[in-house]
Structure 1
């Protein structure tokens, strides 16, 4: 993703080979809302990059998250490292909706369609193509706060697999 031109020195993120993340909508036309959507997308890209690089304490993940979201990400990424796995395929993040609270934080809800996203064994190179079930669809409810640099960091993320709001 190109730099948004906001003057913030952002980490360059490269997804693992064969991994693709799609975000809809990418923008709404509202600058503040679009900044939240953009930084959240970069957070998700940073997590996949860290899985590919086998780097649970990735600087890019720390750039786009803090608090329990960062700690949960380190644990999530560590699980892939421990299992000798990486990510591949396409995950779509759709129906992304932002609300702003009086305290300056933002709420972001969205659905993750993992029906074409897979894990791959690093040693064998074999992709684990799993059948599509209701658990292939994940509802996310994230909390973000703008830090002193102007980055909307994920501070908390709660996900629910198989949530009816996200199933086709």
Structure 2
């Protein structure tokens, strides 16, 4: 199951565009945002100390992202648009999905880089689901692929839609180190949507939703 889906869905079956990455949770009624799914969680933005080391996106000013051995996040380079603002959003989204992978592969959602890129509702969900997954004795491992990313920019928020493949990603049991390999299926593919706001110079995910088993994302 997609990292974004795993971070979003509790008891709801995979039924499309829940809270974080695919189709948002509705406007907050303030009229400030015109991106579907954007809403204000009311919390103060978290921050992390920037690192001089390159991030997943290649931005030397972004926090460092060191994934454990055997964990990889692959993003399609063809997603870049040539538009400075949209490409900035895509670079920060790249760092966000790497931060998500870091949280699941280590079982540690409280590291600063996760708080940097996931705030408000998105932040609460990542914290809750990663801890739940770790409590089940599991960590994430393998390769997570993101592609067909597209950006829509509104007045105060942006939406990034994307596809994710976990065909080569699996759960690893903490107590034994055993990787639980699963048979390929359409559930390996997820369509998602991340609602992002710029805070302190960084575009952060504030809400997300996903649709698992999306055949349009199959490849």
TM-score strictly above 0.5:
yes
Please report how far the alpha carbon of residue 3 of structure 1 lies from its aligned counterpart in structure 2 after TM superposition. 4.9
Tell me what 1:105 maps to: 157
Structure 1 segments (4+ residues) deviating >3 Å? none
- Tell me the TM-score normalised to structure 1 length: 0.89
| Counterparts in 2 of 1:161 and 1:2: CA distance versus 1, 3 Å | closer
2:75 is equivalent to residue 20 of structure 1: no
Paired position in structure 2 for 1:51: 104
Contact 2:57–2:94 under 8 Å retained in 1: no
For the residue of structure 2 that corresponds to 1:76, the secondary structure is helix
Partner of 2:59: 4
Show structure 2 runs of 5+ residues with no match. Answer: 1-55
Aligned match for 1:65, one of 73, 97, 118:
118
Q: Is the 8 A contact 1:16 1:87 kept in 2?
A: no
Q: Relative contact order, CA 8 A, sep 6+: which one is greater?
A: 2
RMSD: 1.6
Of 106-115 and 45-54, more deviation after overlay is shown by 45-54
Q: Deviations over 1:97-131 (max 9, x none)?
A: 00111x22111100001111111112211111111
* Equivalent in the alignment of 1:162: 213
Aligned residues: 163
3-state SS, counterpart of residue 34 of structure 1: helix
Q: Of Structure 1 and Structure 2, which has the larger fraction of its residues in strand?
A: 1
Residue 93 of structure 1 pairs with residue 146 of structure 2: yes
**Superposition TM-score, scaled by structure 2 size:** 0.70
* Unaligned segments of structure 1, at least 5 residues: none
Residue aligned with 1:12, SS? coil
2:203 is equivalent to residue 152 of structure 1:
yes
Cross-structure match for 1:132: 184
